[in-house]
Copies of this chain bind each other. A is one copy, B any other.
Amino acid sequence: MSKAQSSAAAQKTAGTDKREVILTAALDLFRHYGYRRTSMEDIARAAAVAKGTLYLYFKSKDELFEAICRSLAEQVGEGVARAEALDLPLEPKLTALMEAKLGFVYRWILSSPHAAELVDSGSRLSEDVFGEVYDRFYNAVRHLVRGGVASGELDLNAVGLTEEATVDALIAAAYGAEKAPDEKMFHARLTAIIKLTLRGLRA
């Protein structure tokens, strides 16, 4: 590769990188110190750029936060899609789906001591940014339940729930694992909850 090419490549990478560097630095700070306790000055320092530079990439602190959410949502979406594509029996597949959705969020947001504030800061974005991902996830679980009923593995009548209520309950119960203090506990609880709730639905 010629020097010119190398230089051009470096430049492009650098340009692209800077946005990433800022996003990474900001997410890191938000996770450690929370949204309001993290100033644009802090982010600039952590990303090794000037304060003004942040505004070249993001219109405001809020938009910077939104960009982080979009990025995370995108990654969750990809994870869910991958899990959806797996060919597995009911329980492992449900576990894979939950891991993909909840596990990712847990690792990047909920494991932070300021998880709640971050979720709150992003709450107005929830609909726009996370809505689509959630829909995909919800439908995947629903499809799984329907399949389980069709194959006779599950019996919703035994607990007297509609399909929708069942899916709601399954997901809601799994969400409960997110309060875990660390990732190991998170996995243990998630697994236990899935085992319990699925057994509760078995014919």
Beta-carbon contact of B179 and A175 below 8 Å = yes
Residues of B within 8 A of A170 (CB): 196
Interface string of A179-203 (1 = CB under 8 A from B): 1100000001100110111111100
Interface residues in A, total, Cβ within 8 A = 41
Closest B-chain residue to A159, C-beta based? B195
Interface string of A138-174 (1 = CB under 8 A from B): 0000000000000000000011110001101111111
Name the one of B34, B169, B177, B180 contacting A193, with C-beta atoms under 8 angstroms. Answer: B169
Beta-carbon contact of B120 and A159 below 8 Å = no
Q: Does A36 contact B (CB under 8 A)?
A: yes
Residues of B within 8 A of A50 (CB): none
Residues of B within 8 A of A201 (CB): 196, 199
Q: Identify the stretch in A7-15, A21-29, A110-118 within 8 Å (CB) of chain B at 4 or more residues.
A: A110-118
Beta-carbon contact of A197 and B173 below 8 Å = yes
Beta-carbon contact of A172 and B165 below 8 Å = no
Could you name 28 residue pairs across A and B whose Cβ atoms are closer than 8 Å? Answer: A36-B36, A115-B116, A116-B116, A116-B118, A116-B120, A120-B120, A158-B199, A159-B195, A159-B196, A165-B188, A166-B192, A168-B188, A168-B189, A169-B189, A172-B173, A172-B176, A172-B189, A172-B192, A173-B173, A173-B174, A173-B197, A175-B175, A176-B193, A195-B200, A197-B197, A197-B200, A198-B200, A199-B199
A-B pairs, 8 with minimum CB distance: A116-B120, A176-B176, A199-B200, A200-B200, A196-B200, A169-B192, A173-B173, A117-B120
Other than the given A114-B120, A176-B177, 19 more pairs (CB < 8 A) read A114-B123, A115-B120, A116-B117, A117-B121, A158-B199, A159-B195, A160-B195, A165-B192, A169-B193, A172-B173, A172-B176, A173-B174, A173-B193, A173-B196, A174-B176, A175-B175, A197-B200, A199-B199, A199-B201
